[in-house]
Amino acid sequence: MRKTYKYRLAPNKTVENKLHWVLARCRELYNAGLSERKDAYRMVGKSITYYDQQNVLPEIKAKIREEYQDIAAHVLQDVLKRLDKAFQRFFDRCAKGQKPGYPRFQGRNRYNSFTYPDGAGWKLDQQTRPPDKKGMVRVNLKLTKIGTVKLHLHRDMIGKVKTLTIKREGEHWYACFSCEVDKPEALPSSYEDVGIDLGVTHFAALSNGEFLENPRHYRRAENKLKKLQESLSRKKRGSHRRAKAVKRVAKAHRKVRNQRADFAHKASRKLVNRYQVIVLEDLTMANLVKQPKPKQDEETGQYLPNGAAAKAGLNKSIADAGWSQFVGMCTYKAAWAGRTLVQVDPKYTSQICPNCGNVRKKTLEERWHSCTCGCELDRDTASAKVILGIGRKQLSVGTRPTRATA
C-alpha cells in the first residue's frame, strides 16, 4: 500500500529560484509534448506514444535545449509520463462515452509540481542536523543540480520511499514522499454499522440520529476572499502591490483548503474507528454535482448556454462541503482499518420511509419525514437509515463477523 508524507520545505532564495526554474522548464516540456501530439494527429493522423517522445529527449538535451541537461533525467521523463497519463485518461473517457475533455495546455498557475519517479537525483541526510528547540528533527534534502533544502520531519516516514514530488502551493514549497508500506493490522471488529446522508444543511446525517455539522469554512472565509479578490483586481498589472495582493489571495485559499482537509480527516477517522460497515452515497451517481452537458449549435458548432451558471450556486455549496474529499478519506481509512465501506445509488433515498418502505416525494423545503405508519424523523436521518438499509442488502451474507460468530 502507498502512503504519502508531506513536508514543508524551507528553501533559501537561490534554491527557490532554481525550483521555479525547473518547474517552468517542466511545464514547457509538457506543453511542447502536448502540442507535438496534437499536431502529429491533426496533420498526419498519427498517434505519438510516450516512448516516441522519451526517445528524442537525449537529442533535445544535446542539440536544441541544452539547459535541460541541468534537470534530472528521470524528472523530465516523468513529465512525459504525466502527459501520457493525461492522454490515457482522455482515451478512457472517450471509450466509455463520457464527455472527453482533451488534455489541456498548462498555464503557470496550473502546473505546480515535478516528480522524481525513483531514488535518483535526490537524497535525504537524516543525521546532519541536531533536533531544534521543539525537538523536531531537521533534515537536509539534497536535490541534484538544484541544491540543498531544509525540511522539518514533523512525523516519521514509515516504509520505503518510491517517489518524491516537489510541489508549489502559493508561495510555499512541499516535498511529498510516496512510500510503500505494509498494511497495518485491522482495528478490532465493531458491531455498529452506519448509513450516512451527505447534505447541505448538515455536512452529514448519520442513521443513528447524530449529525456531523458543516464547518462552513469556505462561507465564512468567502467574504474575506472576495474582498481580497476585489482589492487584487484594482491593483495595476505588474505592480508590487498587485504581487502582494496575489499572495494574500493565495493564502486565503490555502487556509480554506487546509481547514477543509483537516475537518475531513478528523470526521472520517471517528467514523472508521467506531463503525464496522459504513454506507455512503455514491457521489458519481448523485446528479446534483453533475455539470450540465455542453450544448453546441449544430450548424456553427458554437457553444450555447446550457444552464451551467444557474447550477453553479448549488454546485458551489456542494464543492464547499468537500464531500468527495471526505468520501475518499473514508474509503482509504476504512481499507486500512479492515472496515467495510459500501457506496449505494442515492436515487430515491430521501423519498422512502425507513420504517415501512412507503415512497412519497418530498420537496427540497420539507425538512421532516412524517409517514402514515407513524414514523417521525428528521428528513436527513431518514435518508441515512434508508442508505444503511440498501447498503446492508448489497453486502452478501458472511462477508463480515456477526455478533453470533465472534
Beta carbon of residue 382, minimum distance to Zn ion (angstroms, whole number): 9
Give the H or E element holding residue 253: helix 240-274
- Give the other-Cβ count within 10 Å of 29's Cβ: 23
CA distance 223 to 220: 6
Residue 31 or 355 with smaller CB distance to Zn ion: 355
- The site map against Zn ion for 278-307 (x = CB under 5 A) is ------------------------------
Q: How many CA atoms lie within 13 A of 17 on its CB side?
A: 2
Residue 231 or 355 with smaller CB distance to Zn ion: 355
Residue 249 or 375 with smaller CB distance to Zn ion: 375
Beta carbon of residue 342, minimum distance to Zn ion (angstroms, whole number): 23
Beta carbon of residue 346, minimum distance to Zn ion (angstroms, whole number): 19
Q: Based on the shown chain and the rule CB under 5 A, indicate whether residue 371 belongs to the binding site for Zn ion.
A: yes
What is the SS3 assignment for 266? helix
Beta carbon of residue 375, minimum distance to Zn ion (angstroms, whole number): 4
Q: Which three cell numbers stand for residue 304?
A: 450555447
Beta carbon of residue 278, minimum distance to Zn ion (angstroms, whole number): 25
Looking at 92, 273, 373, 376, which residue binds Zn ion (CB under 5 A)?
373
Residues between 305 and 324 that touch Zn ion (CB under 5 A): none
User: Are 315 and 289 contacting, i.e. CB atoms less than 8 angstroms apart?
Assistant: yes
Residues pairing with 141 in the sheet? 124, 149
Residues between 333 and 362 that touch Zn ion (CB under 5 A): 353, 355-356, 358
For residue 360, what is the DSSP state? Answer: -
Residues between 22 and 81 that touch Zn ion (CB under 5 A): none
CA distance 10 to 273: 35
Stretch that binds Zn ion, among 10-18, 84-92, 189-197, 371-379 (CB under 5 A): 371-379
Residue 325 or 370 with smaller CB distance to Zn ion: 370
Residue 314 or 373 with smaller CB distance to Zn ion: 373
Residue 243 or 373 with smaller CB distance to Zn ion: 373
Looking at 161, 179, 250, 375, which residue binds Zn ion (CB under 5 A)?
375
Residue 286 or 375 with smaller CB distance to Zn ion: 375
Beta carbon of residue 355, minimum distance to Zn ion (angstroms, whole number): 4
- Cβ-based burial of 322 (10 A; exposed 0-12, middle 13-18, buried ≥19): buried
Beta carbon of residue 268, minimum distance to Zn ion (angstroms, whole number): 31
Residues 6+ away with beta carbon under 8 Å from 72: 116, 120, 121, 122, 143, 144, 145
Beta carbon of residue 349, minimum distance to Zn ion (angstroms, whole number): 14
Beta carbon of residue 373, minimum distance to Zn ion (angstroms, whole number): 3
Stretch that binds Zn ion, among 99-107, 216-224, 257-265, 363-371 (CB under 5 A): 363-371
Number of residues that bind Zn ion (CB under 5 A): 7
- Give the other-Cβ count within 10 Å of 96's Cβ: 8
User: Are 369 and 386 contacting, i.e. CB atoms less than 8 angstroms apart?
Assistant: no
Which candidate, 194, 214, 205, places its Cα nearest to that of 350? 205
- Give the other-Cβ count within 10 Å of 329's Cβ: 20
**Roughly how many angstroms between the first and final C-alpha of the chain, as a whole number?**
28
Stretch that binds Zn ion, among 2-10, 281-289, 369-377, 381-389 (CB under 5 A): 369-377
Q: Based on the shown chain and the rule CB under 5 A, indicate whether residue 376 belongs to the binding site for Zn ion.
A: no
User: Are 163 and 115 contacting, i.e. CB atoms less than 8 angstroms apart?
Assistant: yes
CA distance 237 to 354: 58
Residues that bind Zn ion (CB under 5 A): 353, 355-356, 358, 371, 373, 375
